[in-house]
């Protein structure tokens, strides 16, 4: 998604380049090789039905529990006994400010909370009538429940002015992770001990199931445009009943019919709806009109990894390792569901408010891929293509995702992909033949060894060919506690600067300056036969979604509008 939509798809072949009162880089997606007609039939024969019988450990750890759709009301009242950062008291003036005044100039003293459920985040500042060690929020948030997820609340403190302290960045004071009781109208009211800090937090949680209602574009307030693509746009929206901020992806039906992208579009919806993983952006709802498809996704506003990498050029080893580890868990989950991702790159990785990654843009995923099954659709982004796509018949397995993980790790540490060249054909040649070279500043031998083994040109010898555990067990990840990582109990090494859950400062201003409108599609009367291609689009619950996707060939424009072809 990278909020620029699935179809940044330029052709590029190898040959040519309730109980409470409310408060409130260019991408080249290639078709099959021009000589690949014999392979095309095998691709099209396979239905993209979803193998829901498989569940990865990483997905199970996050929770596969049937939950009736509804609303989760969460009230955070207060905390007590917080331990403030030592540097907070490094200045007499800071101490005096803490003791005697609560004006706006000293707002930094009061901790704020980030409340998160299923990747939807709410940021709340403490009341200034309280104290920093015993802050009060008395705030209620309402979350839409479409599937099981844990509830997390993290407490942070902003740094004081530079003249008062040496603190850099927001300080993490502790957090809690709760498994809500999804029993109708049963309130949970408790003090919870903070993890990663000292003190307790008072939390009240109440769940109420929803009456089934059909969503439409009128269910949302359109706020800002945050991305555009060939098939539509992505807007920041506010759901009117819950007041939550989401990303709404709009896709024109006629465009995807003409371009033969129905299969990819339905595959993306299927993956987002079925997979429940802490590092994959979740689908909240989907619905349609006569002319458009709509995906309602969690709004992840910490910015693309691409944005942060461009700004900083390189990351330190631990930061690169942390992101790679979370991506490894996400890819492992997809592989256990028999899905190849095929398009890992910084533009498709978002950072949430607290600094964890969220993998997005699933339009190039290939479903129903067993461990040894091969496919040969030539697609992806040139810098990240695995060599097996460029050799022989171009067939490949899930192992291509481990090559792209290696390319991404190299880029995060070094600043460019390992085989990059401005000339695409030369870059393809580099991927097939050029030696892997490390800059002099890269001294970490474990990192270099991991990169050599991930960027092994032979898929059979590549680390990960026997499963993700091979990569997890590499010495480079020796200091990663995988259970804590999956539970999001490891603090990210970097926290993006975001003012609130509605902040769009990390998105391109060329989009956010546009008016947020759901444009009318002229002459959009599709035939009933074509409308049937989207019959199962609307999102209900993960266990009830059907995902038979057989339609893939481009069709004539006249046929799209219900007229016979000449």
Distance between CA 6 and CA 479 in Å, rounded? 35
User: What does each C-alpha distance from 155 to 127, 167, 187 come to in angstroms?
Assistant: 14, 16, 23
Strands (DSSP E) found in 53-170: 70-80, 112-117, 120-125, 136-145, 151-157
What's the 3-state SS for 478-514?
CCCCHHHHHCCCCCCCCCCCCCCCCCCCCCCHHHHCC
Q: Please, which residues bridge with residue 298 across strands? A: 246
- Chain-centroid distance of CA 472 in Å reads 21
Q: Checking phi first, is residue 410 left (phi over 0); if not, alpha (psi -120 to 50) or beta?
A: alpha
- Chain-centroid distance of CA 392 in Å reads 34
> Which DSSP string corresponds to 69-85?
SEEEEEEEEEEES----
Can you tell me which residue has the tokens 């067993």?
Answer: 370
Residue 443 neighbours by CB distance under 10 Å: 10
Run of H or E residues at 62: helix 57-62
Q: Which residues are known binding-site members for ATP?
A: 253
Residue 49 neighbours by CB distance under 10 Å: 14
CB 363 within 8 A of CB 311: no
DSSP 519: -
14 phi and psi angles, rounded to 5 deg: -65, -30
507 phi and psi angles, rounded to 5 deg: -110, 155
CB 326 within 8 A of CB 485: yes
Pick from 147, 285, 272: nearest CA to 214: 285
Distance between CA 135 and CA 127 in Å, rounded? 7
Q: Tell me the three state secondary structure of residue 219.
A: helix
Catalytic residue among 144, 254, 343, 401: 343
CB 164 within 8 A of CB 91: yes
β-pairing verdict for 292-298 and 245-252: antiparallel
Q: Which residues are known binding-site members?
A: 253
Half-sphere exposure (CA, 13 Å, Cβ side) for 395? 11
> Which DSSP string corresponds to 12-58?
--SS----S-------B---S-TT-HHHHHHHHHS-----TT---HH
Query: What residue spans of 133-261 are helical by DSSP H?
Result: 253-258
Q: Checking phi first, is residue 160 left (phi over 0); if not, alpha (psi -120 to 50) or beta?
A: beta
- Number of residues assigned to the chain: 566
Q: Give the strand order in the sheet containing 151-157.
A: 120-125, 112-117, 151-157, 171-178
Q: Tell me the three state secondary structure of residue 97.
A: helix
Instruction: Mark whether 523 is an active-site residue.
Output: no
Longest dimension (CA), the chain: 84
Q: Which residues are catalytic?
A: 343
């Amino acid at each position: 998604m990278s909020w620029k939509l699935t179809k940044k798809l330029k052709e590029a072949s190898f040959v040519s380049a309730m109980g409470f009162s409310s408060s409130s880089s260019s991408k080249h997606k290639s078709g099959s090789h021009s000589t690949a007609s014999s392979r095309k039939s095998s691709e099209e024969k396979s239905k993209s039905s979803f193998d829901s019988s498989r569940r990865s450990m990483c997905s199970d750890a996050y929770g596969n529990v049937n939950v009736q759709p509804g609303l989760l009301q969460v009230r955070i009242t207060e905390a007590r006994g917080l331990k403030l950062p030592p540097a907070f008291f490094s200045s007499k003036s800071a101490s005096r400010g803490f003791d005697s005044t609560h004006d706006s100039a000293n707002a930094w003293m009061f901790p704020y909370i980030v409340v998160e459920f299923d990747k939807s985040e709410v940021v709340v500042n403490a009341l200034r009538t309280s104290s920093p060690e015993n802050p009060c929020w008395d705030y209620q948030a309402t979350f839409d429940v479409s599937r099981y997820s844990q509830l997390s609340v993290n407490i942070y403190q902003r740094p004081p002015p530079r003249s008062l302290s040496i603190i850099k960045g927001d300080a993490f004071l502790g957090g809690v992770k709760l498994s809500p009781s999804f029993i109708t109208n049963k309130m949970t009211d408790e003090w919870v001990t903070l993890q990663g800090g000292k003190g307790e937090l008072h939390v009240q949680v109440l769940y109420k199931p929803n009456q089934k209602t059909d969503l439409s574009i009128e269910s949302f307030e359109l706020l800002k445009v945050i991305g555009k693509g060939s098939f539509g746009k992505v807007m920041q929206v506010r759901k009117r009943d819950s007041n939550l901020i989401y990303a709404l992806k709009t896709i024109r039906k006629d465009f995807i019919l003409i371009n033969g992208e129905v299969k990819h579009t339905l595959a993306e919806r299927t993956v987002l709806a079925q997979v429940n993983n802490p590092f994959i952006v979740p689908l909240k709802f989907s619905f349609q009109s006569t002319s458009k498809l709509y995906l309602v996704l969690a709004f992840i506003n910490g910015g693309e990894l691409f944005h942060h990498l461009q700004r900083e050029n390189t990351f330190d080893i631990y930061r690169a390792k942390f992101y790679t580890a979370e991506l490894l868990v996400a890819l492992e989950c997809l592989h256990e569901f028999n899905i190849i991702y095929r398009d890992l790159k910084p533009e498709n990785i978002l950072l949430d408010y607290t600094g964890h990654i969220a993998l997005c843009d699933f339009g190039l995923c290939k479903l129903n891929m067993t461990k040894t099954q091969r496919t040969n659709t030539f697609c992806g982004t040139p810098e990240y293509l695995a060599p097996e796509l460029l050799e022989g018949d171009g067939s490949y397995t899930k192992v291509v995702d481990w090559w792209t993980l290696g390319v991404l790790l190299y880029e995060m540490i070094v600043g460019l992909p390992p085989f990059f060249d401005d000339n695409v054909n030369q870059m393809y040649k580099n991927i097939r033949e050029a030696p892997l070279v490390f800059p002099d500043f890269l001294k970490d031998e474990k990192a270099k060894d991991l990169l050599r083994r991930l960027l092994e040109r032979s898929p059979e010898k590549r680390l990960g060919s026997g499963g993700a555990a091979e990569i997890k067990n590499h010495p480079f990840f020796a200091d990663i506690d995988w259970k804590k990582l999956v539970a999001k109990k490891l603090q990210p090494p970097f926290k993006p600067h975001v003012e609130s859950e509605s902040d769009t400062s990390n998105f391109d201003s060329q989009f956010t300056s546009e008016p947020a409108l759901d444009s009318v599609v002229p002459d959009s009367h599709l035939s009933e036969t074509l409308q049937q291609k989207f019959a199962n689009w609307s999102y209900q619950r993960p266990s009830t979604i059907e995902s038979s996707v057989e339609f893939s060939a481009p069709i004539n424009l006249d046929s799209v509008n219900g007229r016979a072809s000449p």
